[in-house]
């Protein structure tokens, strides 16, 4: 059984309303401030004993002005192969992207999904590379994998370590 998704800012401040309402207000604020922004969504996971912890991030990048992110952690007690876990990470990112993509389109904000999957076939995560790329692009989203997938391999990774 998994926990209900709860979002917070990097400083730990909990989001007490829906992430959708939060993102809508952020997009309005950024537009009014005339910031050129893009969004990257990614998930990483870490197996710890009998549980797998997932961290999903929504990273906002202000061109030339830094960025900020929202974080959600969830715990899963289901055992998974490496490929299953990689595809679960991708699914979690797609779920978030799909639920918010109409807002990003309305505000003309470019969005990418970052997969913590190695493009080098010598790594186990590569088993899920083609499936993940097909799934993400098939849903109509831009796809990035390591080493260009910083939202998952850097931002989310720091949350689950």
Question: What is the per-residue pLDDT for 127?
Answer: 86
Question: What is the per-residue pLDDT for 84?
Answer: 93
| pLDDT beyond 60 at 148 | yes
| pLDDT beyond 80 at 5 | no
Phi, psi (deg, nearest 5) at residue 119: -80, -10
pLDDT tens for 20-51 read 999 999 999 999 999 999 999 999 999 988 89
Q: Cα–Cα distance between 107 and 27 in angstroms, integer?
A: 7
Q: Taking all residues of the chain, what is their mean pLDDT, rounded to a whole number?
A: 92
Helix segments in the chain, DSSP class H = 19-32, 82-106, 129-138, 150, 157-160
* Mean pLDDT of the region 127-147: 92
Question: Which range, of 13-17, 74-78, 106-110, averages the lowest pLDDT?
Answer: 74-78
* Mean pLDDT of the region 151-161: 84
pLDDT tens for 88-105 read 999 999 999 999 999 999
| pTM beyond 0.75 | yes
Going by their DSSP bridges, the two strands 51-62 and 37-48 should be labelled as: antiparallel
Q: How confident is the model at residue 3 (pLDDT cuts 50, 70, 90)?
A: very low
Q: How far is CA 120 from CA 31, 104, 117, in A?
A: 39, 31, 9
Phi-psi region of 147 (alpha: psi -120 to 50; beta: other; left: phi over 0): alpha
Tell me how crowded residue 46 is: count the other CB atoms within 10 A of its CB. 15
Greater confidence, 70 or 161? 70
Question: What is the per-residue pLDDT for 2?
Answer: 36
Question: What is the per-residue pLDDT for 121?
Answer: 85
Q: Where are the domains of the chain?
A: 7-160
| pLDDT beyond 80 at 83 | yes
Q: In sequence order, which residues have a C-beta less than 8 Å from that of residue 59 and are 6 or more positions away?
A: 39, 40, 41, 42, 67, 68, 69, 150, 151, 155
CATH topology of domain 7-160: Nucleotidyltransferase; domain 5 (3.30.420)
């Amino acid at each position: 059984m998994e926990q209900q998704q709860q979002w917070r800012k990097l400083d730990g401040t909990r989001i007490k309303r829906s992430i959708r309402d939060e993102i809508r207000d952020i997009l309005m604020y950024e537009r009014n401030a005339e910031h050129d922004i893009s969004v990257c969504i990614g998930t990483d996971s870490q197996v710890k004993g009998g549980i797998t912890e997932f961290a999903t991030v929504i990273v906002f990048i202000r061109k030339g002005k830094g960025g900020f992110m929202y974080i959600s952690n969830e715990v899963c007690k289901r055992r998974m192969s490496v490929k299953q876990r990689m595809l679960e990470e991708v699914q979690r990112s797609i779920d978030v992207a799909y639920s918010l993509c109409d807002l990003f389109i309305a505000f003309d904000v470019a969005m990418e999904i970052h997969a913590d999957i190695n493009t080098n076939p010598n790594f186990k995560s590569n088993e899920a590379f083609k499936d993940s790329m097909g799934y993400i692009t098939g849903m109509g989203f831009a796809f990035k994998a390591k080493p260009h997938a910083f939202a998952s391999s850097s931002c989310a990774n720091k949350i689950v370590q």
